[in-house]
Amino acid sequence: MTRRAQRRLGVLLVLPVVALTVVFFLLPLANALVYSVVDFDGVSSNPPFVGLANFREMFADDEVWHALSNNAIWIVIGTVAPIAIGLLIALLLWGVERGSVLYRLCFFLPYVLPGIAIGIVWGWIYDPVQGLLNKTLAAVGLGSLARGWLGDPRWALYAVLVTAIWGATGFAVVIFISALRNVDVELVDASRIDGAAGPARLWYVILPQIMPVFLMVLTLTLVGGFSVFDIIFIMTGGGPADATNVIGTYSYTQAFQLSRIGYGTTLALLITVLSVPFAVALNRLQRKLSLQGTGA
C-alpha cells in the first residue's frame, strides 16, 4: 500500500524535472550528435549526411590543437591558482576573529558578480593607455612592462586567466574555511610541539583532514575549467588572432559566425568527451575518501 502510494507520488513529483531534462537537455544533446554527422548551415531543412567528415576535419585542424592547448593551460593554471590562493587565504583567516566577516565578504564578492561586469572592469584595468595596471607599473618604475594586455597575443590568454582566477578564488576560500573548521586543532598543536614546521604541518596534518573537501573543490574547478567559455568570449572573443581561442569559443565562431553548425557542434562534443572521465574519476575518489572519514 505505502509503497504504491510512494511510487505514485514519486512519479508525479519527478515529472517536471524529467520533462525539462528531456526537452531542454537530452534532446539538444542528442541533436548535437546528429549535427556532428551532417553539414548543417542553419538554414537548409534537410542537411546532407557527411558521415565522419566533421571528425576527420577536426583532427586535421591546427586551430583545434591550438585551442585544446589553450584549454589545457587554462585547466592547469585555472585550477591550481584558485585552489592554492584560496587555501592560503583560508589558512590566514583560520582563527582570525576580528573582521573575519568583512574579509570573507571581500574575498567572496567577485564570485557573485556577473561575468560580463567582471569582463568589462578588467578590460578597463588592462586598457593599454589609461588602464590601472599599466599606470601602476609606470608608477613603480616598471613602465617598460606595460602593454596592451588583451591585445598582445602572447599575454592575452594569461590576462583573461588572471581575471578568471580573481573571480573563482572566493569559492575556494569559503569552502576551505568551512573545511578547516572541522580540522582537529589538538592534532595540529601536537604536531607543532613535535617540531613540525609550517609546510610539514600543512602537508601531513591539515591537508589529509580536509582531503575530501579539497578533492571536491578540485573537481568543481576542473569541470569549470573544461567548460570555460563566457569570460573568454566576453573579454577577447577568442582573439587577438585566435590567441585566446578555446574549444568553446572556436565552436561558437564556427557555428554562429561561419554558419558551420555541424562542425561547430562536433568541436563542442570533443570537450565534453574529454571532461566527463576526469569528473567521474575525481568524484569517485572524493566519495571514497569522504566515506572513509565518516567511518561509513
In the complex, minimum distance from the CB of residue 52 to another protein, in angstroms, rounded to a whole number = 18
Question: Of residues 227-246, which lie at the interface with another protein (CB under 8 A)?
Answer: 227, 229-230, 234
CA–CA gap between residue 163 and residue 179 (Å, rounded): 26
Collapsing DSSP states into helix, strand and coil, what is residue 117? Answer: helix
Q: Is 204 in the site for another protein (CB under 8 A)?
A: no
The nearer residue to another protein, 170 or 243, going by C-beta atoms, is 170
Q: Is the Cβ–Cβ distance between 178 and 43 less than 8 Å?
A: no
CA–CA gap between residue 178 and residue 90 (Å, rounded): 9
The nearer residue to another protein, 140 or 154, going by C-beta atoms, is 140
CA–CA gap between residue 67 and residue 73 (Å, rounded): 10
The nearer residue to another protein, 76 or 276, going by C-beta atoms, is 276
End-to-end CA distance of the chain: 32
Q: Is 211 in the site for another protein (CB under 8 A)?
A: no
In the complex, minimum distance from the CB of residue 243 to another protein, in angstroms, rounded to a whole number = 19
The nearer residue to another protein, 73 or 274, going by C-beta atoms, is 274
Q: Is 184 exposed, middle or buried (0-12, 13-18, 19+ CB in 10 A)?
A: exposed
Q: For another protein, which stretch binds (CB under 8 A), given 15-23, 49-57, 65-73, 137-145?
A: 15-23
Q: Which residue has the cell 563542442?
A: 268
Q: Is 72 in the site for another protein (CB under 8 A)?
A: no
CA–CA gap between residue 218 and residue 274 (Å, rounded): 16
Q: Is 10 in the site for another protein (CB under 8 A)?
A: yes
Q: Is 107 in the site for another protein (CB under 8 A)?
A: yes
Q: Is 213 in the site for another protein (CB under 8 A)?
A: yes
The nearer residue to another protein, 149 or 166, going by C-beta atoms, is 166
In this structure, what is the dihedral angle of CA atoms 184, 186, 187, 191, given to the nearest 10 degrees? 140
Pattern 76-105, another protein, x by CB under 8 A: -------------x-xxxxxxxxxxxxxxx
**Size of residue set near another protein by CB under 8 A:** 117
Taking alpha carbons only, the member of 258, 247, 266, 282 closest to residue 83 is 282
Question: Of residues 132-151, which lie at the interface with another protein (CB under 8 A)?
Answer: 132, 135
Q: Is 189 in the site for another protein (CB under 8 A)?
A: yes
Q: Which residue has the cell 576542473?
A: 222
